[in-house]
Every structure is written in C-alpha cells, then in structure tokens.
Structure 1
Amino acid sequence: MSELDDFFVHTVTLTPKTGDSGYGPTFGTPTDVACFVDDTVQLVRAPDGEQVVSSSTVYAPPGAPDGPPGSTITFPDGRVSTVITQARRTSGPLDLPDHVAWTVT
C-alpha cells in the first residue's frame, strides 16, 4: 500500500512496449492502473535527447508495471497517448512516498 493511494483517483490502461520487430513495435498485455492524471502541458527531454511536448503526466503506485518509452496509455475518455519517459521515484531511507511517473504525448 502506498502513502499516495488516496490520490490515485483515476484509472488508465497501460500497454507496455516490449520490443521491436520487422513489423514495428511489439506490446505486452494491457493492464488497468490506478493513478493520478495531471493534464499539464510541458516540455520534456525524450530518451534520445530530443525535446518533446508532453500533454500529461501520470502518477502511479510504486508497484505499477513498467511502461517504458513507446508504451501506450489509454485514458478513460478514450484518448491514447504514447509514453515519452518513465521515472520510478524511490526515496530509500528518506521514507518519502514512492511512485512512478510517466510523461506522455
């Protein structure tokens, strides 16, 4: 149980990117994730160093599945976004709330 559970009032569907094939990206099993969606537009740096505009940041519990860049997140309204970055925030001995943050297009 996360200290942030009371804030996870949204649910999205995460479809993790598992790799690439000759036909394009491959994806794993879609999973519903309890989260908090912050629809703030911001400029972020993608893993390749390019600056990209993010339309939302999704915060999830520390036990959320991996959603590496290229994964998709489907919002309750049907909007599908692509993960730009994933950050697992762990505080170690500081005892701060651990969580996962995905910035998405």
Structure 2
Amino acid sequence: MRVPAYLLRHRVTVEPYLGDGAYGPQYGPPLADVPALVSGARKVTRDSTGAQVISTAQVIAAPDLDCPARSRLTLHDGRTTTAISVTHHTAPGLPVPACTEVMCE
C-alpha cells in the first residue's frame, strides 16, 4: 500500500545528486511537480557520516522517489534545500502506507 495521493498536498522539485565533479556537486535533471507532504519542523537527525544535524524541513513522498542524500530540493514555498538523509518506509503485509521520507537542511 502506498501513501494516499490525497495526503500529498504540496509540490516539490527534486534534482537528484549524482556526485562531485571538478566544479562541485553534480545533479541530474530536475523532477518537477513531485507530490509531497512538507513539514517545516526543526528536528535533530543524523547525516550520512553519523554527525548530528538539524533538519528544518521533512518531506514525505511516494515510495519510488529518486532522491539520494545531498540531492537539491525546491520546496512548495520556493525555498531551496539539500537532502540530509533519505529513508524508504515499507511494511509488506501490514496496513500501513509505504513512503519515502527526506530530511532536509
């Protein structure tokens, strides 16, 4: 079961992180108008190195979202941010929705 579309009230743009190049981070083509639910709460989380950081936005989207850590996101309010961590939530056989959670700077 996927997260219901009617709960994904916001639209975001995701530029998937591809790696670092000679001139800094490289991003793939933008995925525009991605349905999501955005929360602007401040939360303590851990980045890919295990360091504690503050997330200023959390994005819930469909479980098949292509958004690796360090991807660039443009939120529904126009703010551009970076993905700190990405978690794919699944529970096969249970009546809970599968989704992707992105913690943003």
Fold conserved between structures, TM > 0.5: yes
Give the root-mean-square deviation of aligned CA atoms.
Answer: 1.4
Task: State the TM-score, normalized to the length of structure 1.
Answer: 0.91
How many residue pairs end up in the alignment?
Answer: 104
Partner residue in 1 for 2:56: 55
Structure 1 residue 40: Cα displacement: 0.7
Partner residue in 1 for 2:79: 79
Q: Which residue type is aligned with residue 76 of structure 2?
A: P
Partner residue in 2 for 1:38: 39
Question: Identity, % of aligned pairs?
Answer: 33
| Whole-angstrom CA distance in 2 between matches of 1:53 and 1:36 | 19
Structure 1 residue 4: Cα displacement: 2.1
Deviations 1:43-65 (A, max 9, x none): 1010101111000100001122x
After TM superposition, the structure 1 stretch with the greater mean CA deviation from structure 2, 19-28 or 44-53, is 19-28
Q: Which residue type is aligned with residue 43 of structure 1?
A: V
Task: State the TM-score, normalized to the length of structure 2.
Answer: 0.91
Structure 2 residue ranges without an equivalent (≥5): none
| Whole-angstrom CA distance in 2 between matches of 1:78 and 1:4 | 24
After TM superposition, the structure 1 stretch with the greater mean CA deviation from structure 2, 89-98 or 47-56, is 89-98
